[in-house]
Structure 1
Amino acid sequence: MDIFQEYFFQRALLGGALIGLTAPLMGVFLVLRRLSMIGDTLAHVSIAGVALGFLLGVYPVAVGLLFALLASFAIERLRKAYRTYAELSIAIIMSGGVALATLLFTFGKGFNMNVMSYFFGSVYTLDSTDLWVVAGVACLVLVVVLTNFKEMFLLFFDEDAAGVSGLPLRGYNILITMLTALVISVSIKIVGALLVSSLLTIPVACSLIVSRSFKNTVVLAVIFSELCVLGGLIAAGVWNWAPGATVVLLLIAVLICTLVGKWALRR
């Protein structure tokens, strides 16, 4: 097919493959911490950073990344302040992010169409700088997860035991939130801020249905993610569909098939 010869499509597939690898890695830990909605929160804060980047004439993804990192620190701080109602931190930061993004939209009427592309994804416009940023974040996530896999497993399955064993709980919590912020901020150009949390959660939801161990959950989540991201991008490219929406709908279709398959095997 001619579309596979196009450089923009090759860059889209490469960027999608990198995000398809890193997003479920972070998603597993978010789901285990019952913080699945943090993806939407950081995505909306990133959009505010992207809008400011366009307003200042600075690389928008970098500003969005900075905003997401600052939001991740704020979330962890608020989670400590509201220990009994930790989910309040997510609602507060999301509200602030949406409000700030809306305000910045009113200042930059000339670039609003560019910002809106980050809401729905613009994977076909990835350039070399975008790919290098995505690749850098992917390498960082892989290094951290692989070198701290056992500690993170203990932390999210039994935080009390992890604390007794001497693990720096606060440091690990901040680290995971920061890595999630990085992944989300570089993902919004690929699948869009409105859909990015799907890459964090739906592959994990699929893997939890069929996996029998934590390690299998992580591996299967990555496999489900990669198959759906690449399959969705190829289908979108061949039939001229919306890339981000195609990827997410394929993920949901796989989730439904997995649920039906497990239900059929039980009968």
Structure 2
Amino acid sequence: MEIILSDFFQRALAGGLLIGITAPLIGIFLVLRRLSMIGDTLAHVTIAGVALGFLINLYPLGAGLVFAVLASFAIEKLRKAYKSYAELSIAIIMSGGVALASLFFTLGMGYNTDVMSYLFGSIYTLDTQDLYVVGAVTLVVVVVITLFFKEFFLLSFEEDAASVSGLPVRMMNMLITVLTALVISTAIKIVGALLVSALLTIPVAISLLIARSFKSSVILSVVISEIAVVGGLVIAGVWNLAPGATIVLLLIALLILTMAGKKGLST
């Protein structure tokens, strides 16, 4: 149990708790708008930015964040160009992200091990600078969602009605996508690019099964996310397991238990 009291574990816990707030806050709007796969897309683009950061000796997480934000603008541009085939934008940007990541991997073979930690998560290596970045992103996300909660709610359920009512739909769409990019780019060092979508979607999936209102679903998804983060980190610390994997598997276990409980009550 000594590991739980160590400095690196405390930093990991702080970073995990912060992402545990922002991921489901953004995730619920993505799920309702059927844009769950945007998480994987921006995660792959972020990895390309991280790889470039290592290649040219820049702060990797910062480079990944810039790539993710630029990709979010590109996604919205393509979504506007292909209104009837909006999912094309996600597929195109994901392909570009994977291609760039592969290219940067081959140009910098010496740092591949470091980049791999971003693929699978390396929450125990979070330093003070990383925590400042995660904290800043958390503050931005919470403030923006608090200010535009009603607008995002309307946009998620009825985009046409939002447009007719005078809501700046294009700006709101861009804002959600940029916030998603910020969250994903900071979350990949915690759970990894391959698992980051789980934090965006699974807490939301659980909350939608049992919540009775949209607001309660938002709150419940954050609570579930935090439980999984803390529980997953403690399990990983005590039994020396991969923390990103334990967090996600705990979320899946909670989803299965919730579905089983709901089915049991309905029979």
**TM-score normalised by structure 1 residue count:** 0.99
**What does residue 125 of structure 2 align with?**
125
Q: Which amino acid aligns with 1:18?
A: L
**What does residue 234 of structure 2 align with?**
234
- Cα deviation code 1:90-113 (max 9, x no counterpart): 111000100110010000011110
Q: Determine the C-alpha separation between the residues in 2 that align with 1:50 and 1:238.
A: 30
**What does residue 153 of structure 2 align with?**
153
Q: Determine the C-alpha separation between the residues in 1 that align with 2:114 and 2:122.
A: 10
- Offset at residue 194 of structure 1 (A): 0.2
- Cα deviation code 1:198-255 (max 9, x no counterpart): 0000000000000111101101110110000111011101110110000000000000
- Offset at residue 160 of structure 1 (A): 1.7
- Offset at residue 18 of structure 1 (A): 0.2
Matches within 5 A, 1:111-190: 111-190=111-190
**What does residue 200 of structure 1 align with?**
200
- Cα deviation code 1:134-162 (max 9, x no counterpart): 00000000000111111111111111221
**What does residue 21 of structure 1 align with?**
21
Q: Determine the C-alpha separation between the residues in 2 that align with 1:101 and 1:154.
A: 36
SS of 2:162's partner is: helix
Runs of 4+ in 1 over 2 A off after TM superposition: none
Q: Which amino acid aligns with 2:187?
A: S
Q: Determine the C-alpha separation between the residues in 2 that align with 1:117 and 1:67.
A: 18
Q: Determine the C-alpha separation between the residues in 2 that align with 1:202 and 1:150.
A: 23
SS of 1:111's partner is: helix
Q: Which amino acid aligns with 1:210?
A: I
Q: Determine the C-alpha separation between the residues in 1 that align with 2:159 and 2:2.
A: 52
Q: Which amino acid aligns with 2:60?
A: P
Q: Determine the C-alpha separation between the residues in 2 that align with 1:5 and 1:211.
A: 35
Matches within 5 A, 1:212-251: 212-251=212-251
Q: Determine the C-alpha separation between the residues in 2 that align with 1:245 and 1:5.
A: 21
**TM-score normalised by structure 2 residue count:** 0.99
- Cα deviation code 1:40-60 (max 9, x no counterpart): 000000000000000010000
Matches within 5 A, 1:43-82: 43-82=43-82
Q: Determine the C-alpha separation between the residues in 2 that align with 1:5 and 1:258.
A: 32
Q: Determine the C-alpha separation between the residues in 1 that align with 2:127 and 2:151.
A: 36
- Cα deviation code 1:1-41 (max 9, x no counterpart): 31122100000000000000000000000001100000000
1:10 equivalent to 2:10? Answer: yes
The answer for unaligned runs of 5 or more in structure 1 is none
- Cα deviation code 1:144-181 (max 9, x no counterpart): 01111111111111112211221100000000000000
Q: Determine the C-alpha separation between the residues in 2 that align with 1:53 and 1:195.
A: 21
**What does residue 253 of structure 1 align with?**
253
Q: Which amino acid aligns with 2:201?
A: T
SS of 1:110's partner is: helix
Q: Which amino acid aligns with 1:83?
A: K
The answer for unaligned runs of 5 or more in structure 2 is none
Q: How many residues align?
A: 267
Q: Determine the C-alpha separation between the residues in 1 that align with 2:214 and 2:19.
A: 21
Give RMSD over aligned pairs: 0.6
